[in-house]
Amino acid sequence: MESLERCAWLLRSTLVRAAVRRYLPWALLALMLGGSLVKELAPVPPSYLSNKRNVFNVYFVKVAWGWTFILLLPFIVLTNYHLTGKASVVLRRLCTLLVGTAIWYVVTTIFLHIEHYTGSCYKSPALESIRKEYNSKEECQKVGGFWHGFDISGHSFLLTYCALVIVEEMIVLQEVKMDRNHSLHFTLTSLVVALGCLVYIWVLMFICTAIYFHDLSQKVFGTLFGLMGWYGTYEFWYLKPFSPGLPPQSSSLNLKQDSYKK
């Protein structure tokens, strides 16, 4: 338990800092550009993380929003109810996960349509011979062809968005005061460790995506979509009265709906 608490304290003291929330979006953009330059000018030798079948990619990145959703749900319930004591506030804040799910679905669907309408079927990745009789990626792949279109990086989008959402929600830990004897202490400590580790996994895999995969323009668009999803919600819409709102920012107002940052 002591090791878990120390880990939670370390993650809490780093990720909850205002500077992290302020500079993480810019850091992700810089990492994407820097990694892309490395890929183009001085390619890194293949490694375990460059293999798409690595454990982080298969079991975490491919279901990144699922992990983010599953861990944030109990975290939001426990922390927001602990601070406000109102089920209505908790339900309102849980709507952020529904909004995030909608953003994930809409954006990934847009990416698929862009790849479809800009793509063509080729006999091989060398793109030496086009097969005009196949007009969709599914048809092309069924006959062993290679579909080539503008494939915006879904990883760049999703990892950017998930990391920023978790960091935004963890800001509530500045207000949560829970001693070791509290019944929820172990559960909340475990969630803090899990969410903190998830942020570091998302950032690590974001860097790997920048270094090993996709073209620069594909990663630029993917990252920008992630940043727009975060900015449009936490930096704009959630500041409005008719929205899921931001995490409670002041325990002195923990029983009032206006304890959210306006």
Q: Which residues are catalytic?
A: 155, 214
Start-end of H helices in 121-153: 137-142
**8 A C-beta contact, residue 163 and residue 169:** no
Pairwise CA distance, residues 113 & 119, whole Å: 10
Strand partners, 12: none
**8 A C-beta contact, residue 154 and residue 111:** yes
Two structure tokens written together for 171: 């800001």
Per-residue H/E/C for 65-88: HHHHHHHHHHHHHHHHHHHHCCHH
Pairwise CA distance, residues 229 & 99, whole Å: 10
- Give the relative orientation of helices 154-170 and 18-41 as an angle to the nearest 10 degrees: 160
- Give burial (CB, 10 Å; 0-12/13-18/19+) of 169: buried
What's the longest Cα–Cα distance across the chain? 69
